[in-house]
């Protein structure tokens, strides 16, 4: 499916602001990729654009603008979770979790929380503190160099304060490595079980399999795919990339989803 605009007779035109140019490529933000996956799983076309946090409704990437074909109204939305919820409520996206049992809904939410509310902060530490210059120059790509130096220092200081208050900044690097490995091991184990279930049902070669083992994706898949891809394409998180590449099922999972839903995007290096 290509990320092209829709006509007025189709779904509203959606412009997705991803923070970077990166035409035809996944960006480093797991939340951007998560939202792109959510839109593509639902068959919704969109136009990618750059945008910037100061222009975003909540001053964060990603954010979208979409025009309702019936009313011609333009709405701006920010935060990948709230965007997906709103578009689902408006009937633009299907409810991926509608048919899940209560226990599966809890598992789905737990997986998302483990990555978005725990692993995310480990990644921030690895990128903004341990690999500062690589992250600074990528995140502030459009900022003139002298200003980039100052802004980068301010961001790093703020992240250090946030991470200490949140708790991640109080752990040693060895402890954080253990935590990251534990999380990815858990996801790997889930995916191995899901792939086995899908294979027993006659999974075709190259077809995606899903985190909860069902016939289609759930919200957890958007997050897992987003975080795996973020690790694989970012050069500011070498340790996380090494960990993820050590689990073949993670590469298989992300590769199958990419091939089916992102054939127009450049694929990451697996070596």
pLDDT per position as a tens digit, 169-227: 999 999 999 999 999 999 999 999 999 999 999 998 899 999 999 999 999 999 999 99
Q: Answer whether residue 146 is part of any domain.
A: yes
CB atoms within 10 A of CB 232: 22
CB atoms within 10 A of CB 127: 24
Are 78 and 119 in a shared domain? Answer: no
Q: Answer whether residue 266 is part of any domain.
A: no
Are 83 and 107 in a shared domain? Answer: no
Q: Give the end of a domain, one of 36, 60, 89.
A: 89
Indicate the pLDDT class of residue 55, thresholds 50, 70 and 90.
confident
Q: Answer whether residue 186 is part of any domain.
A: yes
Are 116 and 150 in a shared domain? Answer: yes
Are 211 and 174 in a shared domain? Answer: yes
What pTM does this model have? 0.93
Are 83 and 109 in a shared domain? Answer: no
pLDDT of residue 3: 43
pLDDT per position as a tens digit, 143-183: 999 999 999 999 999 999 999 999 999 999 999 999 999 99
Indicate which CATH number applies to the domain containing 64. Answer: 3.40.30.10
pLDDT per position as a tens digit, 109-146: 999 999 999 999 999 999 999 999 999 999 999 999 99
Are 166 and 255 in a shared domain? Answer: yes
- DSSP assignments along 234-253, one per residue: -SS-HHHHHHHHT-HHHHHH
Give the three-state DSSP class for 45: coil
How many domains does one find in the chain? 2
Helix (H) or strand (E) holding 138: helix 132-139
Q: Answer whether residue 218 is part of any domain.
A: yes
Distance of CA 244 to the CA centre of its chain: 15
Are 206 and 176 in a shared domain? Answer: yes
Are 122 and 250 in a shared domain? Answer: yes
Q: Answer whether residue 4 is part of any domain.
A: no
Backbone angles phi, psi at 249, to 5 degrees: -70, -30
> Which residue in 111, 151, 145 sits closest to 128, CA to CA?
151
Q: Give the end of a domain, one of 63, 89, 115.
A: 89
Range of the domain at 57: 13-89
- Assess whether pLDDT exceeds 70 at residue 45: yes
Q: Give the end of a domain, one of 66, 89, 112.
A: 89
Are 34 and 66 in a shared domain? Answer: yes
- Assess whether pLDDT exceeds 90 at residue 73: no
Residues 2-11: contacts with CB under 8 Å, at least 24 apart: 2/45, 2/264, 3/36, 3/40, 3/45, 3/46, 3/47, 3/48, 3/264, 4/45, 4/47, 5/45, 5/46, 5/47, 6/45, 6/69, 8/69, 9/69, 10/45, 10/69, 11/44, 11/45, 11/69, 11/92
N- to C-terminal Cα distance for the chain?
27
Are 150 and 226 in a shared domain? Answer: yes
Q: Answer whether residue 139 is part of any domain.
A: yes
Residue 262 is given by DSSP the state -
Are 234 and 169 in a shared domain? Answer: yes
Are 138 and 246 in a shared domain? Answer: yes
Q: Answer whether residue 267 is part of any domain.
A: no
């Amino acid at each position: 499916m290509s990320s092209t605009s829709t006509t007025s007779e189709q779904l509203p035109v959606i412009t997705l602001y991803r923070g970077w140019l990166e035409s035809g490529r996944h960006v480093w933000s797991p939340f951007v990729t998560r939202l792109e996956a959510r839109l593509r799983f639902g068959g919704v076309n969109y136009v990618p654009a750059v945008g910037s946090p100061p222009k975003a409704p909540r001053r964060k990437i990603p954010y979208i603008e979409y025009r309702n074909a019936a009313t011609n109204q333009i709405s701006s939305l920010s935060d990948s979770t709230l965007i997906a919820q709103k578009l689902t409520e408006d009937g633009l996206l299907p409810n991926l979790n509608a048919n899940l049992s209560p226990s599966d809904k809890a598992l789905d939410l737990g997986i998302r929380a483990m990555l978005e509310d725990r692993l995310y902060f480990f990644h921030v530490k690895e990128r903004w503190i341990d690999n500062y210059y690589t992250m600074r120059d990528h995140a502030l790509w459009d900022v003139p160099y002298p200003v980039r130096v100052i802004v980068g220092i301010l961001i790093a200081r703020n992240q250090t304060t946030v991470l200490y208050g949140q708790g991640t900044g109080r752990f040693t690097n060895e402890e954080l490595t253990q935590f990251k490995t534990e999380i990815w091991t858990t996801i790997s184990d889930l995916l191995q079980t899901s792939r086995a279930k899908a294979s027993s049902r006659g999974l075709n070669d190259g077809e995606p399999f899903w985190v909860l083992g069902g016939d289609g994706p759930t919200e957890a898949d958007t997050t897992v795919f987003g975080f795996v891809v973020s690790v694989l394409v970012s050069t500011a998180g070498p340790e996380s990339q090494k960990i993820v590449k050590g689990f073949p099922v993670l590469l298989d999972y992300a590769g199958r989803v990419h091939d089916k839903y992102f054939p127009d995007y450049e694929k990451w290096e697996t070596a």
